[in-house]
Structure 1
Amino acid sequence: MAGNSDPLTPRAKLAVTAGKAVAAASRAAGRGSGSVIGGRVALKLDPDLLARLAQNLDVILVSATNGKTTTTRLIAEALRAAGPVVSNALGANMPAGITSALAGGSDAKFGVIEVDEKYLAGVARDTDPKCIALLNLSRDQLDRAAETRMLAENWREGLAGTKAVVVANADDPLVVWAASSSPNVIWVAAGQMWKDDAWSCPSCGGVMQRPGDDWFCGECGFRRPTPSWALSGDHVLDPHGSAWPIHLQLPGRANKANATSSAAVAAVFGVPPQVALERMYQVQAVAGRYDVVQFMQRDLRLLLAKNPAGWLETFSLIDPPPTPVILSVNARSADGTDTSWLWDVDYTRLTGHPIFVIGDRKLDLAVRLEVANQHFQVCENLDQAVQMAPPGRIEVIANYTAFQDLRRRVGN
């Protein structure tokens, strides 16, 4: 590592080399990027490797149910104004994938790391971050993720007394409760469209009052903190009250919120909002999300939505009716095998769109759309859905493994 007075131990170097070799073999065999298997091998050889790789970096951790991959990308772009960055940009966000990413950044100054919500406390312990961004918490992967309040509890305990500056969304009561154990918090008004996981007070269980954009618990007094950064329309308001225009190639209000949190993180490291936001314009797509691809002489926009909160945000940014919409849902282990979350999504927002349903769980989704009085057609695959769709650009919304299937089919 550059400027490292304490270079990696021989064991750590061996672990890094072995991990890279295994990852390269995995790629050569056509089994994906190899970052996870490479990281697993490296950590087996040196269980302290993640901590060793992080010791000379300014580490920024990003965690949330939705938006963490995109926000990690935006923060990484912004911080490149201040020095070289290493990041797990493709979303391998558990310890093995994170270790692999850091092993590839020997000259970096900053490590911008997306972390799965369940692993945040452990990764924070290992990497001694300078900054932690907490965006939102909502229900996801119902068969294996803890109930959201338990995740918030895990964050709250794991981050208690942390030396890191915590940049947290003031509009999400679960995030506020989790971050409140940290001594140094910067609150960001990033908004919260999905509120169904935050009607009871995380502190006492009382009923949350939600007048307008505010929230408070009438029983214990737990309430929304005063933010110092805010998203206001198409601008970021900084702590001095200056408004900076957001110019993104990424669509939707959620990405403006992600940019607002990212600008707050960049400012912690001395990058001014104007510079940070200008650099974020470079990001066109994130691991295929928001890409517009040509397939069978049609334009398809690929949108990832993994849980009710994500689907709600995605519906808000699709083109108006009668734009055709293809929905694809799988329930493989990486998605969570429980599809009952489909009943939490308000599919009446798709009224007026011709809808085509594909994916492993197309029949689960068809039943849900039937109950929502939507007009739809079940198709065998993407090719058939595209053939049947009326003219114009097609919006394709898919959950995690369904999205990977789509990218492979369209050669993206």
Structure 2
Amino acid sequence: MSQLPLRAQLASALGRTAATLSRATGRGDGSVIGGRVGLLLEPDLLRKLAADRRLALVSATNGKTTTTRLITAALRELGDVASNAFGANMPAGHVSALSTNKAAPYAVLEVDEKYLPEVLDTTEAGVVVLMNLSRDQMDRAAEIWLLAQKWRRALDGKPAHVIANCDDPLVTWGASTAARVTWVAGGQRWREDSWCCPECGGPLDRKAADWACRECTFHRPEPNWVLDDEDVIDPRGDRWRLNLKLPGLANRSNAAIALATAEAFGLAPHLALPRLREVTSVAGRYTTVERDGRSLRLLLAKNPAGWLEAFDVSSAERPIILSVNAQGPDGRDTSWLWDVDYRILNGRPVQVTGERRLDLALRLDVAGVPFTLRDSFGQAVASLPPGDIDVIANYTAFQAIRTEFGRAE
């Protein structure tokens, strides 16, 4: 990329210094404070740092951190890649990521759904990846059809190449104004937020993966890429067996999106796929940590769609610890717990902890799922016998567990 102007160089350097101090003093990983300092000194720093790079923006309600990591892994076949690997997905985090790796010719940035229009306008990214939309943090974000509408407006008239999941009607609607779209049939297990047509409000008829509005012409586009169980079928009809180390259907969907995105950058599937197979953990997700003879597998779930995917990965033979908070990053409103079908946990030893453990306890009681309430996560762990344990936690609860039991990449 071209040389930054002097003011931008100074802002970038001071931001990196702030990030280093944050890490050294144990206040955080520096991925936000460094960007805030840089933007304070040079408000246009993100635009300047993004210039002359081949850049992809990745946005969704669920899976954007994992998909960002997978795309980043694939593109390293082409060269150095800057990325916000730990999920700082607003402009300050983007500045930190790009500032940390100023020379990288490629960049992949996870973007909060609400911030996508602003970040796209600022960076003029060449590729935009859109995967799913479902209700999440309703006290902070708008209704999801409003987010999809903002995506439509942001993409209208932009030259960006969009990679979009055509199985999600809201994503399809949000992406449909783009100049160029590659459609991926990545699946949509959580459908409770997409039974109505976003174009006219009519009912959607859904048959297997296909969907169409009963009252207007809005329908599922023909996919270019298709996830078929363990395989991905590319636009030429070739099958690629995934064989990922990351577990679950959701991650196979993420990988299908990543392969399509890699090809948008000119990287063929046979070169991208080995890179995807090297990814074993994403910001602590799916990591196993050891404590006193117990192996704890950490799963993140922050909304009903995420809990559905976590249950898919979780093992029915293992006891399970559930931990829920309601701090700012989680959203203060825990009413979404009532949209999760917890009956799948029947028959397993269930431990409940977290700041909002009583909210979760009431939900489990109504669902008829036996559980034991614990005052702390450590107490929950100690109460279970040595062996394998699954842990499902929402965002700040998950981060607290990682801090206590050791952070993993």
Relative to the length of structure 2, the TM-score reads 0.98
Once the two structures are TM-superposed, the CA of residue 27 in structure 1 deviates from its matched residue by 1.7
State the alpha-carbon separation in 1 of the partners of residues 50 and 382 from structure 2.
Answer: 50
Greater shift after overlay, 389-398 or 325-334? 389-398
Once the two structures are TM-superposed, the CA of residue 383 in structure 1 deviates from its matched residue by 2.0
Match of 1:197 in 2: 193
Match of 1:254 in 2: 250
Residue identity opposite 1:383 in structure 2:
G
Once the two structures are TM-superposed, the CA of residue 48 in structure 1 deviates from its matched residue by 1.0
Match of 1:207 among 199, 203, 209: 203
State the alpha-carbon separation in 1 of the partners of residues 126 and 270 from structure 2.
Answer: 22
Match of 1:327 in 2: 322
Residue identity opposite 1:278 in structure 2:
P
Match of 1:24 among 15, 20, 23: 20
Contact 1:204 1:220 survives alignment (8 Å): yes
State the alpha-carbon separation in 1 of the partners of residues 20 and 250 from structure 2.
Answer: 35
State the alpha-carbon separation in 2 of the partners of residues 247 and 73 from structure 1.
Answer: 17
> Quick one: percent identity of the two aligned structures?
56
Once the two structures are TM-superposed, the CA of residue 392 in structure 1 deviates from its matched residue by 3.0
Contact 1:247 1:278 survives alignment (8 Å): no
Match of 2:334 in 1: 339
Match of 2:124 in 1: 128
Once the two structures are TM-superposed, the CA of residue 42 in structure 1 deviates from its matched residue by 0.7
Contact 1:324 1:392 survives alignment (8 Å): no
Match of 1:106 among 98, 102, 106: 102
State the alpha-carbon separation in 2 of the partners of residues 213 and 18 from structure 1.
Answer: 50
Greater shift after overlay, 170-179 or 209-218? 209-218
Paired residues, what number? Answer: 407
State the alpha-carbon separation in 2 of the partners of residues 245 and 76 from structure 1.
Answer: 20
- The answer as to 2:223 corresponding to 1:227 is yes
State the alpha-carbon separation in 1 of the partners of residues 100 and 379 from structure 2.
Answer: 41
- The answer as to 2:361 corresponding to 1:366 is yes
State the alpha-carbon separation in 2 of the partners of residues 392 and 100 from structure 1.
Answer: 40
- Which structure 2 residues correspond to residues 286-365 of structure 1 after superposition, within 5 A? 286-321=282-317, 323-365=318-360
Contact 1:142 1:341 survives alignment (8 Å): no
State the alpha-carbon separation in 1 of the partners of residues 320 and 281 from structure 2.
Answer: 20
Match of 1:50 among 41, 46, 69: 46
State the alpha-carbon separation in 1 of the partners of residues 65 and 300 from structure 2.
Answer: 11
CA deviations on 1:15-73 (whole Å, 9 max, x unpaired) are 11111122122222211112211111111111111111111110000000000000000
Contact 2:212 2:219 survives alignment (8 Å): yes
Greater shift after overlay, 36-45 or 386-395? 386-395
State the alpha-carbon separation in 2 of the partners of residues 121 and 404 from structure 1.
Answer: 28
Greater shift after overlay, 71-80 or 266-275? 266-275
**Other structure's SS at 1:393 match:** strand
| Runs of 5+ consecutive residues of structure 1 not aligned to the other structure | none
Once the two structures are TM-superposed, the CA of residue 385 in structure 1 deviates from its matched residue by 1.1
Match of 2:390 among 381, 391, 395: 395
Match of 2:373 in 1: 378
CA deviations on 1:66-102 (whole Å, 9 max, x unpaired) are 0000000000010111111111111110000100100
Residue identity opposite 1:25 in structure 2:
L
**Other structure's SS at 1:293 match:** strand
After TM superposition, where is structure 1 displaced by more than 4 Å over at least 4 residues in a row? none
State the alpha-carbon separation in 2 of the partners of residues 307 and 353 from structure 1.
Answer: 22
State the alpha-carbon separation in 1 of the partners of residues 150 and 55 from structure 2.
Answer: 20
State the alpha-carbon separation in 2 of the partners of residues 15 and 247 from structure 1.
Answer: 43
Residue identity opposite 1:61 in structure 2:
L
CA deviations on 1:276-331 (whole Å, 9 max, x unpaired) are 1111111110011000110121000000000000000110111123x101000000
Q: CA RMSD in A?
A: 1.0
State the alpha-carbon separation in 1 of the partners of residues 279 and 203 from structure 2.
Answer: 40
**Other structure's SS at 2:14 match:** helix
- The answer as to 2:82 corresponding to 1:97 is no
Relative to the length of structure 1, the TM-score reads 0.97
**Other structure's SS at 1:35 match:** coil
Once the two structures are TM-superposed, the CA of residue 387 in structure 1 deviates from its matched residue by 2.3
Contact 1:247 1:277 survives alignment (8 Å): no
**Other structure's SS at 1:176 match:** helix
Once the two structures are TM-superposed, the CA of residue 105 in structure 1 deviates from its matched residue by 1.3
Match of 1:170 among 166, 183, 193: 166
Greater shift after overlay, 349-358 or 172-181? 349-358
Match of 1:404 among 396, 399, 402: 399
Contact 2:294 2:385 survives alignment (8 Å): no
Match of 1:84 in 2: 80
Once the two structures are TM-superposed, the CA of residue 388 in structure 1 deviates from its matched residue by 2.1
- The answer as to 2:115 corresponding to 1:116 is no
Match of 2:5 among 2, 9, 13: 9
State the alpha-carbon separation in 2 of the partners of residues 392 and 28 from structure 1.
Answer: 35
Once the two structures are TM-superposed, the CA of residue 106 in structure 1 deviates from its matched residue by 2.1
State the alpha-carbon separation in 1 of the partners of residues 250 and 351 from structure 2.
Answer: 25
Once the two structures are TM-superposed, the CA of residue 391 in structure 1 deviates from its matched residue by 4.8
